[in-house]
Amino acid sequence: MRTAASFVLLATAALTVGCSSGQPGSPDQNSAGSAGAPEREVNKTLTVKQNDGSAKVTLVSVTESFKPDEDAKATSGNFVAVKLRFEGQEGEYSANPLYVMLKKADGTVARSDDGDNDDAVRLEQKIRSDDMDLRPGKSVEGLVAFDMAYDPGAVVLVTSVMGHVLGQFPVSGGEPILGDGSPRKDVNKSVTVKQRDASALVTLVSITESKGPLKDTVAPENGGIVIADMKFEGKTGEYSVNMLRLKLKTPDGQSIDPHDGNGSHGVAVDEEELPTVDLGPGKTAAGKVAFDAKLQPGTKLVIEDYSDKVVGEWPL
């Protein structure tokens, strides 16, 4: 009897262990994020602009722990998925998932083509290549996944082809913002500048310290981008506006022009750059000029004439 009882006890224990090891929550059956989590609606919208067009972009929802397609593996143990909707507004806007990134609170940026991110989303859930080019009245919606642990301080970045941040959407559901959040300082100081037989009133409207584009090939070489927003008003003769007449002068005497480093890639939208144009009296031109530099105390923005003589300056 003692032997039979022992056998029954052992058999019962073995059965109990076997059943518990197959529970859905056990490590070998349900690694982090594999079961997925419900979508959380966000529905926050911004209108952003690329070189060739604009679109209304909506962060529709966030899935903090997304169940990937069976072939995708998350090295972090988790995929975060965001659903975005793009609605064409003007021109032709490219709704390419490659221009969507996820930035964690510590500044780490995940790209949609990293690792198995693209494979994590099934074909019917993606924004397909045939649907990416949007014109007014056309829209597309789809998922983009990122291999990372969910971070409530993360933001979805919508960027340009060159990696300029056009808009940011907090995954927590907070209000989105345009641009990369760089600080802008209003200046609104004017100087009258002479140029041979012409003159113009030149105004430094504002200065922005930008982080610059995220694409490696055009990222700032000197740690940041300084963007001067300028306005020119012709006074006499035919005044020639040219961004190359504007330069940053650092406290150590270094002169930086817009084509140094990756300054020529500093403005997100080409049509916002300061144009090259001749101004007659009363005519105006306005636009942005970018410099590949970090703004240091004592730096000045200067404007030079044809002989490279400084004819106006603004302390920054």
Average pLDDT, stretch 199-206? 98
Instruction: Please report whether residue 117 resides in a domain.
Output: yes
Judge whether 4 lies within some domain: no
- Is residue 20 in a domain? no
Co-location of 77 and 99 in the same domain? yes
One domain, residues 144 and 240 = no
Note whether 140 and 220 are same-domain residues: no
Dihedral over Cα of 265, 294, 186, 283: its sign: negative
Residue 33 lies inside a defined structural domain of this protein: no
My answer on whether 213 and 298 are in the same domain is: yes
- 125, HSE (Cβ side, Cα atoms, 13 Å): 16
pLDDT at res. 167: 96
CATH number of the domain where residue 106 is located: 2.60.40.1240
Residues 205 and 302 occupy one common structural domain: yes
Residue 172 belongs to a domain = yes
Angle of CA points 57, 62, 64, to nearest 5°: 155
Whether 8 has a pLDDT exceeding 50, the answer reads: no
308 and 206 in a single domain? The answer is yes
Count of C-beta atoms within a 10 Å radius of residue 37: 16
**Domain stops at, among 178, 210, 240:** 178
Whether pLDDT at 84 is above 80: yes
Any idea what the Cα angle at residue 270 is, between residues 265 and 274, rounded to 5°? 95
Pairing of strands 139-147, 79-91: antiparallel
Q: What is the pLDDT of residue 136?
A: 97
Q: Note whether 174 and 56 are same-domain residues.
A: yes
Question: In this structure, is residue 190 part of a structural domain?
Answer: yes
pTM score, whole prediction: 0.82
| Band (244; pLDDT cuts 50, 70, 90) | very high
Work out the burial of residue 11: count CB atoms within 10 Å of its CB; fewer than 13 is exposed, 13-18 middle, 19 or more buried.
exposed
Q: Domains in the chain: how many in total?
A: 2
pLDDT of residue 129: 86
Domain match, 137 and 213 both: no
Same domain, 101 and 200: no
Least confident of 4-13, 76-85, 178-187: 4-13
Indicate whether 55 and 92 sit together in one domain: yes
Please say which residue of 139, 159, 178 terminates a domain. 178
pLDDT score for 36: 62
Confidence category of residue 13, pLDDT binned at 50, 70, 90: very low
Closest by Cα among 255, 242, 182 to 212: 182
The mean predicted confidence, pLDDT, of the chain is: 88
192 or 18, higher pLDDT: 192
What range does the domain containing 71 cover? Answer: 40-178
pLDDT at 22: 37
Examine residue 252 and state whether it is found in any structural domain, yes or no. Answer: yes
Contacts of residue 96, Cβ cutoff 8 Å, sequence gap at least 6: 127, 132
CA distances in angstroms from 250 to 87, 220, 227, 294, 315, listed in the order given: 44, 17, 15, 10, 10
Asked if the structure places residue 14 within a domain, the reply is: no
Residues 210 and 303 in one domain: yes
Residues 189 and 294 reside in one and the same domain: yes
What would the pLDDT profile of 115-159 be if each residue is shown by its tens digit?
A: 999 999 999 999 988 899 999 999 999 999 999 999 999 999 999
Of the three residues 132, 152, 178, the one that is the final residue of a domain is 178
* Lowest-confidence region among 18-22, 54-58, 107-111, 139-143: 18-22
Average pLDDT over residues 85-100: 96
